[in-house]
Structure 1
Amino acid sequence: MRETLRRRIPFVTGLLTVVSLVVVVAAVRQLVPETLLPALPEGLLHTIPHVNALISALAIGTITYGWRSIRAGRVRAHRRAMLASFVLFVSFLGLYLLRVAIEGPTTFDGPETLKLWVYYPVLGVHMLLAIVCLPLVYYVLLLAVTHAPSELGDTPHPRVGRVAASLWLLSFALGIVVYLLLYVLPV
């Protein structure tokens, strides 16, 4: 099975990316049938953005630690940190999609000037980075699970991983800025 996956990493990366994007679009457009969604108390739904901001901050920490670990040659620490980062990402995405599928996207209620010149550009770059990161993160993760650590240096994993980690960090950071604009700094 591992060898089969190893030969099909680009295909599996593309498949996971497409499936992920379809799920995101379905949730954001509220196309998920209500029967598939749990009935959550309103208070719990309203805590999800705050929990997700915390998850984003933790992910920034784990990605940074993972990056520093591999630069110091600590492969096991790097693997643990990046796996933790992926688990945090999946947790963030699951909570976000659950909330948006039930309530719909949050609207920015601040001043129109701030909305046009700050909120939309930050949100747009955050979303673009999140979309671009998805296949990169899947790709390096699939390389990592199908190759021994000693083999990864001979694959695109180090090069693509640097790009993925950089974009992932920026996406999480901009997500926190979006959170602050929506929930903490209402003008």
Structure 2
Amino acid sequence: MQLQARDRVPELTGLLTVVSLALVFGAVLGAIPTRHLPQAPDWFLAAIPHVNAVVSVFAIGTIFVGWRAIRAGNVTRHRNAMIASLVLFVVFLVLYLYRVALEGPTSFPGPAVLEQFVYFPILAIHVLLAIVCIPLLYYVLLLALTRPVDDVGATRHPTIGRVAASLWLVSFFLGTVVYALLYVVF
């Protein structure tokens, strides 16, 4: 009997989630040897947070467009918007992890009281939602990619997709707030 990806969506979701989170935590915790990474010029590294803020705003837009499209029954527009959202997420994540692996996390430049009672809670919720979104996104993506379009609605894709899209929107929005606190306000 030949096993297919469509029959192993939960297992593939788990595998992809573990690999993804290992890369994220490896970069954030400094476990990825930087000697294996190409060295970008300082101007490029300095531009990454600003580029990622723009990417996040576009991702918020594409997620919203995809959400509205599926509510209107436009599956093609939904699929295109969600693929665009995924591509934007991958661009964001690659740039973020590259910069963090080389330079470490950015310190909060504002007052300690704001760091403790505003910045850290927003950052914690953003990070938690981003972590929770990873398996949800893989799951709905794998369901959509391993089935004919007409069969996707009969899976858990619509239910989990609503949750994933909602959390994804909030995570991207809070990430933009974190950016503003780090690079605009202070």
Give the gaps of 5 or more residues in structure 1: none
What does residue 147 of structure 2 align with?
Answer: 147
What does residue 173 of structure 1 align with?
Answer: 173
Partner-residue secondary structure (3-state), 2:88: helix
Query: What pairs up with 1:1-187 in 2 under 5 angstroms?
Result: 4-186=4-186
Offset of residue 33 of structure 1 = 1.6
Offset of residue 3 of structure 1 = 6.3
Give the gaps of 5 or more residues in structure 2: none
Q: Distance in 2 between matches of 1:135 and 1:27?
A: 19
Q: Distance in 2 between matches of 1:173 and 1:39?
A: 30
Q: Distance in 2 between matches of 1:4 and 1:57?
A: 36
Q: Distance in 1 between matches of 2:173 and 2:150?
A: 32
Amino acid at match of 1:124: A
TM-score (norm 2): 0.98
Deviations 1:93-139 (A, max 9, x none): 00000000000000002111110110000000000000000000000
TM-align CA RMSD:
1.1
Q: Distance in 1 between matches of 2:122 and 2:145?
A: 33
Amino acid at match of 2:33: P
The sequence identity of aligned pairs, in percent, is 60
Q: How many residues align?
A: 185
Large movers: runs of 4+ above 6 Å? none
